[in-house]
Structure 1
């Protein structure tokens, strides 16, 4: 039986939380999935079975089901899988599995054409997770990992206050769930984008790695890796990987007022009644006023094909 660890418990939440999560997280532009599907087709991948791992309640599974007649949905939290069943069971193309990504090494070898990991690789034992992905992929199958968990504002003063809000939320989550060695690893992985995911060259073709919408290269790290913990980011990019940094995709950008930013903040499970966070929200309201400021989700995408 899969054991849920403290890191995963951050997203062991109620239906109300997941309703807020779906509302507050980005509406992923179709161009993102088009890039994944085009890559998969260019490597002669079959469009039969896709696997969304760490899927929560299957937020993105319908996007995969548009191209794959069978989609396996897995998550380490059994209640998330039950919610996914409730949301999606009327469609016959889905099957469900309660499991960590690492434990899906028990799937039949070569039985999956595409593994899609959405904003979850930082929660895994990365090396074990990558081995499980390789095991289940058919030759020529695609591993597609995305990370788009943090929103940044483009106006300097508003971003400075917003960054302090996000740092406070990260510290609050740390205080709530603890900072053992595993939690430190999760933080470092997330702050590294997907550079923390190393893909052995004997198992995968050189990866294509994309970063979009980063105001500065250090913005993600500075927002979610509190300096007081003395942690560093991780770089496991392969020597032959194709790296595309500093790109922009306006499909991930939007204009938000303070209430919209609160909606984004609600997708991180934290205590929002603290006097300090209330003061930060008021400070942001003074800067933004009743208007809106432009911002965008910082996005990383890694694509690789099984040899």
Structure 2
């Protein structure tokens, strides 16, 4: 992350990681990781060292620790590192408090060029993509894998829920008024990266081969809010190489959660960003909108199916 972008997510006691994890898609028991393992197996049979970049509460590092001999979990936020350390009591996980772009200077020099896997979950938009990819190339051994993924705006997946989708997008548009202006800030680049479905992430051929860009449900936007709510012109940018393999899949069962009620939606939005407060005038304006959404979802106590737009980038170090 750039210094100014990372401060947005440095967190503190006011950020509730338990709420965040309870109101996000749970892909730990899905076949998602199997895609990563299968891709890696095609290029390497080594499972000695893995890096989890932007580890947050350590949920990905926890998965990696079951497969790799050692895991280095890094994050620019000390609060996040402390949270992950408290959550994961695993002797093979080492924690580093640093930005992704600085990681080569923070780890033992003997570990440079020795990693078998680098994972980057839900945080690549906050980084300087070209700098980050150069660092990941220095971390990996030849044949090592980088896996970068991001999920975005929830999809109200059931028939007849189009109105719910529209109301939800208005609610999020209102919530994000808390962080305006975006134009000219590091977050302008972050949201452009998301809106571009991470196509802006480069894989220079001198460092990478067998690049795959897998996109689920990309008939819907990846961005957390509709482009009309931004204070700058949101434009698609691309660094897709001519040899990159593009795989697009429409699958409303992917990562789907079938029992989402209005309280789940509220908590998802509350945990979507490190708001300093949700008990403000904007929050008050959102309350009648939530009532409209509950009605559209089917009324009091109703539950609906939520799916996700997801992108997974895979590449092998030459």
The corresponding residue for 2:42 is 42
Equivalent residue number for residue 12 of structure 2: 13
Partner of 2:51: 51
Find the partner of 1:220 among 214, 219, 222. 222
Work out whether residues 254 and 308 of structure 2, in 8 Å CA contact, stay in contact via their aligned partners in 1.
no
Q: Deviations over 1:75-115 (max 9, x none)?
A: 00112112211222x32111010111111122432121100
Q: Which runs of 4+ in 1 moved over 4 A?
A: none
Q: 1:188 aligns with which of 189, 192, 200?
A: 192
Retained in 1: the 8 A contact 2:152–2:223?
A: no
What's the offset of the Cα at 1:39?
A: 0.5
Q: CA deviation at 1:248?
A: 1.7
267, 274, 288: which one pairs with 1:279? Answer: 288
- Partner residue, 1:92: 91
CA contact (8 A) 2:5 2:126 kept: no
Deviates more, 1:23-32 or 1:116-125: 23-32
CA contact 1:151–1:295 (8 Å) conserved in 2: yes
CA distance in 2: counterparts of 1:206 and 1:74, whole angstroms: 26
Unaligned residue ranges in structure 1 (runs of 5+):
none
The range that moved more, 123-132 or 2-11, is 2-11
Superimposed CA distance per residue, residues 186-224 of structure 1 (whole angstroms, 9 cap, x where no aligned partner): 11112222212111111100311111134x24x234835
Structure 1 distance, partners of 2:61, 2:240, is 28
CA apart distance, 1:296 = 0.8
Moved more, 277-286 or 247-256: 247-256
Mapped pair 1:73 → 2:73: yes
Q: Does 1:208 align with 2:207?
A: no
The worse-fitting range, judged by mean Cα deviation, of 41-50 and 245-254 is: 245-254
- Determine if contact 1:118/1:147 at 8 Å carries over to the other structure: yes
Query: Among residues 197, 200, 203, which one is paired with 2:201 in the alignment?
Result: 197
Q: What is aligned with 1:148?
A: 151
CA distance in 1, matches of 2:122, 2:231: 25
Picking from 246, 250, 253, the partner of 1:247 is 250
Shift in alpha-carbon separation, 1:47–1:224, aligned structure 2, 3 A: farther
Q: Over residues 236-273 of structure 1, what are the superposed CA-to-partner deviations in whole Å (9 max), with x where a residue is unaligned?
A: 21111110113326241123111111121122233433
| TM-fit CA distance, 1:295 | 1.8
Which segment is superposed worse, 199-208 or 134-143?
A: 199-208
* Aligned 8 A contact 2:169 2:225 in 1: yes
CA contact (8 A) 2:116 2:145 kept: yes
1:160 matched to 2:129? The reply is: no
Aligned residues: 301
> Contact 2:183 / 2:232 at 8 angstroms: preserved in 1?
no
Aligned-residue Cα RMSD (Å) equals 2.1
Give the equivalent residue in structure 1 for 2:271.
Answer: 267
Contact 1:143 1:304 in 2 (8 A): yes
TM-score (norm 2): 0.88
- Residue aligning to 2:115: 112
Note the C-alpha offset of 1:7: 4.5
- Alpha-carbon distance in 2 for matches of 1:265, 1:244: 29
For residues 8 and 198 of structure 2, the distance between their equivalents in structure 1, rounded to whole angstroms, comes to 21
Find the residue that maps to 1:235 and give its secondary structure: coil
Give the distance between the partners of 1:3 and 1:194, measured in 2 at CA: 17
- 2:240 aligned with 1:237: yes
